[in-house]
Structure 1
């Protein structure tokens, strides 16, 4: 299913999330199962299915990583069950530095400084990845789309790092 079509939105990575939320509420009102309380069992099942599609579509489009994956899947590149890793040497070196810094939090005299530095570094890198994704994802060139898939892999890794940082931060308090 093309969630951009479901929400009557242009298939673009840079999405107006306020408009997405508005369309979500409109669709929810239109297909909510409560509207079909007195309908046939088949109509009730269809309403439940449509509500699930609307919820899935909203959750997919509101998050940049899942939105980008959906856009690639519409172009024939499915990343949902892959185990391909990032091969960018510079990114892998940076990844090792970030992991070391995450480990250093536990043993630091000033963990807040490391946490602040990591938050800043992660945000800066995430912004670069999102900018790169915006440039690549609109293409129909298979090579460019593979580059976009690599950016998605990096974005997923950054999301995991941010989760690890949040857990490390929580452990301090």
Structure 2
């Protein structure tokens, strides 16, 4: 049974442990079970209030599922639950070494846009950086419970992700 009172915590809503490194198949199963339970067809003969509640729960399930399925959104959500706002819109400060790496990648992309093997090597480097950052985020959230550090890492991951999309678009 869906627990509307757990709607203030997406992890409780799905009955899964609050952590960055989640079991995605378990999330999928919990989501499907809730969607089945609150599907409008199941409540077609119910009162207007029951129909409305079912619709709200279905909408909440979709929002919660999308948030927890995406690693960046999930990490930001966990930070937020612990009172840390990553301030993505206003806080773009990043460590100098990270900014230098971003500039190097951009230069490589500009200079080697026609060189398929160079682009593939750059994509490998970006993916490796993304994997390392994900490991650091997992350690910051699930291990150290350092949500401020996790927010910094998540801002960096957002930059890496955007660059990966640009690189992928160039690569195609």
**CA contact 1:105–1:168 (8 Å) conserved in 2:** no
Q: Which one of the candidate residues 76, 82, 85 is aligned to 1:69?
A: 76
Give the match for residue 56 of structure 1.
63
Equivalent pairs, count:
164
Q: Which one of the candidate residues 112, 137, 140 is aligned to 1:133?
A: 137
**CA contact 2:88–2:155 (8 Å) conserved in 1:** no
Give the match for residue 162 of structure 1.
164
Aligned-residue offset at 1:87: 2.3
Determine helix, strand or coil for the equivalent of 2:77. Answer: helix
Runs (5+) with no aligned partner, structure 1: none
Give the match for residue 46 of structure 1.
53
TM-score normalised by the chain length of structure 2: 0.90
Q: Which one of the candidate residues 151, 154, 160 is aligned to 1:152?
A: 154
**CA contact 1:86–1:154 (8 Å) conserved in 2:** no
Runs (5+) with no aligned partner, structure 2: 1-7
Any runs of at least 4 consecutive aligned residues in structure 1 with deviations exceeding 4 A, and if so which? none
CA RMSD of aligned residues (A): 1.4
TM-score normalised by the chain length of structure 1: 0.89
Matches of 1:73 and 1:84, distance apart in 2: 15
**CA contact 2:76–2:86 (8 Å) conserved in 1:** yes
